[in-house]
Amino acid sequence: MLTSIHFLLTYTCTYKCDHCFLYCSPQAKGTFTISQLKQVLEEIKKIRSIDNVYFEGGKPFLFYPLMLEGIRMARAAGLQAGVVTNPYWATSKEDAAFS
Ligand code: SF4
CA 69 to centroid of ligand 1, rounded, Å: 23
Q: How many domains does the chain have?
A: 1
Mean of the per-residue pLDDT values of the chain: 95
Could you tell me if 4 and 53 are in contact, meaning their C-beta atoms sit under 8 angstroms apart?
A: yes
Q: Is 92 helix (H, G, I), strand (E, B) or coil?
A: coil
**Sheet containing strand 4-8, strands side by side:** 4-8, 52-56, 80-83
- Ligand 1: centre distance to CA 95 (Å): 20
Q: What is the rounded CA–CA span in Å between residue 87 and residue 99?
A: 8
Ligand 1 site residues (CB inside 6 A) read 13, 15-17, 20, 22, 24, 57-58, 86
Range of the domain at 35: 4-97
pLDDT at 75: 97
Over residues 9-26, the mean pLDDT reads 96
Query: Mean per-residue pLDDT for 67-78?
Result: 97
3 state DSSP class of 12: strand
Q: What's the whole-number mean pLDDT along residues 39-52?
A: 96
pTM: 0.89
- Give the residue from 12, 23, 15 showing the smallest Cα distance to 56: 12
CATH number assigned to the domain comprising residue 24: 3.30.750
Mean pLDDT is lowest, of 39-53, 61-75, 82-96, for: 82-96
Query: When comparing pLDDT for 88 and 11, which is higher?
Result: 11
